[in-house]
Amino acid sequence: MQVSFAAVNLDTSGTDPRYGIEVYFNGVQVQQQLVIRTNQLLTNITAAPFTLQSVGAKTGLGPDNILSLRGINFGGDGGGNWMGIDYVQLNPVAAATNAPPKFTLTKVSNGSVNLTWTGTGALEAATNVLGPWTPISPAPSSPYSELTGTNRYKFFRLRAP
């Protein structure tokens, strides 16, 4: 399954308007914090895929499953105090195990590069776009964050298994 949503508005009263979102299904976190800024408003955001088994979901008549989007307020340090969310969807992922890995959100913020992806694959890095490519170890899951440090250039790719 995958959860997608769109941020439709954001408190812009701070110096760096932003708001954090975590996604939970039946109380199990299925997406670590994503930080939404004004340039991401009205953009479809898709959380990492998960299985119904991994969140203890029940199907059929009777059981209730609960999808929660938890907001993280950055108002105290120059961010936003609120954000409006709409277009929330819960969708099955067709053949997710065969889907090639694909970056869904890449951003550089506060000295870190932040990568989010779907599908299954190994994250690799290189200092030259032509390689050599080295797997990041231990193998990270999505989302992945790394300080940019003194590296002037660093490239990332996903390699399908």
Per residue in 57-85, pLDDT tens?
A: 888 887 789 999 999 999 888 888 888 98
pLDDT value for 99 = 67
pLDDT value for 24 = 93
Position of tokens 């199907």? Answer: 59
Q: Is the peptide bond before 132 cis (omega within 30 degrees of 0)?
A: yes
Helix (H, G, I), strand (E, B) or coil at 57: coil
pTM, full prediction: 0.57
pLDDT value for 96 = 45
Cα–Cα distances in Å, from 154 out to 31, 34, 47, 123, 130?
A: 25, 22, 25, 13, 11
When comparing pLDDT for 116 and 161, which is higher? 116
Per residue in 1-30, pLDDT tens?
A: 889 999 999 999 889 999 999 999 999 999
DSSP 53: G
When comparing pLDDT for 98 and 106, which is higher? 106
The domain limits of the chain are 1-93, 99-161
CB atoms within 10 A of CB 134: 10
- Residues with Cβ within 8 Å of 69's Cβ and at least 6 positions away in sequence, in order, are 3, 5, 21, 22, 23, 24, 85, 88
Position of tokens 């307020």? Answer: 73
CB atoms within 10 A of CB 104: 19
Q: What number is the average pLDDT over the span 93-114? A: 74
